[in-house]
Structures are given as structure tokens and as C-alpha cells.
Amino acid sequence: EVQLVESGGDLVQPGGSLRLSCAASGFTFSNYWMHWVRQAPGKGLVWVSRVSSDGSGTNYADSVKDRFTISRDNAKNTLYLQMNSLGAEDTAVYYCARSRADIARSMDVWGQGTTVTVSS
Amino acid sequence: DIQMTQSPSSLSASVGDRVTFTCRASQSISTYLNWYQQKPGKAPKLLIYAASSLQSGVPSRFSGSGSGTDFTLTISSLQPEDFATYYCQQSYSTPRTFGQGTKVEIK
């Protein structure tokens, strides 16, 4: 079964750091670009970042640039999101998603999400 | 950045109704337009990719159309399990952007 499972979400104080993980299974992880997408409580979906299949290329939303770092370990089939200098505006459910070049670069597989709460 | 605007923000409909909602891009995105369905507390699910292609396993009552800047998602006969929020998303350029969503509620 193709699956993505996020972990690492937690309650963190403003200014703190957190690392999210996304474990992939059921497919050849190293063949796919991967994304992080977040959703603040009661709000819509917001794209956060993406990484190329080999990890050499990354992109970020302006709102997280210079604070968040996306990376991957293809040997461990795991995607990461290192989040620093967290603020209340980063409170959200964070989803990892697989992107497929052959279907218009859409996100065809999503994890269940992990919750990050930034509060003192 | 490409802005995606969905309308309406919400709509009320009955089981069996035909419903259509729209998504407009701030610049041409060819057919790099995808539709997702999200139910409360769940992850989004891909319904339509490349504006009009049905994702595997998605019922045929869902259909998409459009190109350039204007797109539509149609549900031909609304079923109880279709009450959810629908998002469009462009995959033409980075940053990827989503519309604000259309919530389909029971009338």
C-alpha cells in the first residue's frame, strides 16, 4: 500500500524549533518530488515547500523562506521539514504529499497530517 | 505568484443536484490545474488533474474542464459522501498555490 505517515508535530513556544518527518512506503520514494502543505485551523490549504527527487533542488513559500528547510533521506525513505523561529502564524496541520510529473505535477498521495501548535 | 480564486466560497445543495463551481487563475496556467476534495479532519484527496483528467478510483460523476485561466469542477449528481470542501491548485509554477476552497453543504 502506498502510504505517507507524518510525525513530529508538537506544542512549541514562539521562537522555538521543530523537525517534522514523513515516512514513505509502498513506492520508490527516490523517484518522486515531495511537498509540504499546511492548513491553519479553520483555513485553507497553503503550499509550504518542495524538494526534488534527489534532494538537490528546493523551493519555499515566502512566508517560510530562511526559517524552514526541507530535506530528504532516500535511503531511509523519509522527508523532513526543519522549522526554526516559529511564530503563532505557523500553527497548522502539516501534510506531506507526493508529486507526480506524469499527471500534471499534481499531489496524488497525502499523509494524514501532523499538528504543530506554536504558543506560550 | 499566481493567485487562484474560487467561487462561490460555499453552496448549499441537495442529494441528486448537479453542482458546478469555478476556479480562476490570475494568469494563464495552460491545463496545470488540479482539484482536491477535503473532508473535515482528513487529508485532501486528488480528484482531477490536468484540468479534466479523472484520478484513478474517483467516481465518474466528477468532471473538470477549462484551460488558460478559467476552470470548472462539476458533480453531475451530488451524493451524500460529496459534502466536503473542494480546492483548486495550480501546478504551472512555483510557488504552488491553492484556491481558498468551496464548501459544499447539505440544503
Quick one: pLDDT at residue B106?
Answer: 87
A24-74: per-residue pLDDT in tens? 999 999 999 999 999 999 999 999 999 999 999 999 999 999 999 999 999
Average pLDDT of B83-104?
97
Q: Which residues does chain B have within 8 Å of residue A98's beta carbon, measured at their own beta carbons?
A: none
Quick one: pLDDT at residue A50?
Answer: 98
Quick check: B103 contacting A, CB < 8 Å? no
Chain A interface with B: residues with Cβ < 8 Å = 35, 37, 44-47, 50, 59-62, 95, 97, 99, 103-108, 110-113
- Shortest CA distance from A36: residue in chain B: B96
What does the alpha-carbon distance between residue A18 and residue A10 come to, in Å, rounded to a whole number? 8
pLDDT of residue B55 exceeding 90: yes
Quick one: pLDDT at residue B107?
Answer: 87
Average pLDDT of B66-85?
97
Q: Which of B42, B46, B100, B103 to mutate to test the interface with A (most CBs of A within 10 A)?
A: B46
Q: Which residues does chain A have within 8 Å of residue B51's beta carbon, measured at their own beta carbons?
A: 104
Mean pLDDT (chain A) is: 97
